[in-house]
Structure formats: C-alpha cells, structure tokens
Amino acid sequence: MKIDGNAIRPGNVIEHQGRLWRAVKIQHTQPGKGGAYLQVELKELRDGTKLNERFRSSEKVEKVRLDQKEYQFLFADDGMYTFMDNETYEQVTAEGDMIGEDQIPYLMDGMQVQIESYEGSLIGVRLPDTVVLEVTEADAVVKGQTASSSYKPGVLENGVRILVPPHIAAGTRIVVNTADGTYIERAKD
C-alpha cells in the first residue's frame, strides 16, 4: 500500500531500494529554506543494516504488511530458537539476530511471542512488552540515600543486571520492560 513520505511512523515496515526496512526513529524537520521533510532512521530486516533517509510529503513509499502470528517459545539450541504455532503445532526455527541480542535474555520457556513473516519467509520475532522476573540479588540500601531518585543494582533470575528502587529486595518479583531492560513496577502476583 502506498503512503506519503511524511506518514511513516516508528515500527512501520517499508520497501525501499528493493529491500525491506523497519522505521526505527523519525524526526520532522522544517528548514527555513525549502520544503519540510521527514528524517527516518531505517533498519534492514534481514541483515540489520542501518540507513538514514529523507522523505518529503510529495514522495510515495510502499508500506509492507507483515503476517503476524502467535507462537510459543519451546527451546534454544546452539544459537537457534524453536517456536511452535499455537493452532497447527507446526514448529519454526529462528536465528538469534531475528530476536535481537538485547531481547534474548528475556525469552523464557513457554512464552507467547509474535512471529512476523513476509511472503512465507520469517522476518522477526517480537517479545511481549513486559515480563515478570524475580530479583535474585540486590545490594543493601545505603543509609541516608534519598528515596526519590536513587536506584541500586540488582540481578534478575535470567542473569541480567538492572537498576531497581531501594525497597526491592532479593526474592521480589518485578515487571521489566523488554525493550530497554528497565524496572517498571513490583509484580502484583
């Protein structure tokens, strides 16, 4: 489907220069001289190459619709990750770079993920926005620190280091943002 160059949003997948790109960041720029344009940081879906491109509102770009389907994570073996279709029980395998190095530690057995494909070929794996994990180690609170903006280091059950508020102790279950690995809140379970 064709869209205007200034209608691109973060997360959109477009076809540009014969390849598939995901818009990562966008910035509207209106210079004093000349027409306004959209500065877009693109990431190639297959090899991860980055490209900065300018699109004017008069340009048309091809927005690609990806097929998205729910899968369940089964296991990892030698850098390959196996998922099962919840309806057909068919299994697919993805490489680690399709998930993202920063996302892999949050992938847990039985987790429901979205797998994106285009014309039958696997493009990417999207984890849920948040996961609930247990804090296994947390430093002691230093007496006299203000409670407002002080965070202390902690280690999660998956081995990831994270900054947590002073009231979080080892054994506490917390909600973590999978996109950037930050503390959101104490788990309500």
Query: Could you tell me how many residues make up the chain?
Result: 189
27-49: average pLDDT: 86
The confidence band for 6, taking pLDDT boundaries of 50, 70 and 90, is confident
Q: What pLDDT was estimated at residue 12?
A: 85
The confidence band for 122, taking pLDDT boundaries of 50, 70 and 90, is confident
Choose the weakest-confidence range: 8-17, 141-150, 155-164, 180-189. 141-150
Residue 52: helix, strand or coil by DSSP? strand
Which ranges of the chain does DSSP label H, i.e. alpha helix?
96-99
As a whole number of angstroms, the distance between CA 75 and CA 141 comes to 37
Nearest to 93 by CA among 80, 78, 103: 80
DSSP classification of residue 64: P
Residue 60: helix, strand or coil by DSSP? strand
Q: Domains in the chain, start-ordered, CATH in brackets?
A: 2-63 (2.30.30.30), 67-126 (2.40.50.140), 130-186 (2.40.50.140)
Element (DSSP H or E) covering residue 126: strand 121-126
For tokens 């296991």, the residue is: 75
16-33: average pLDDT: 88
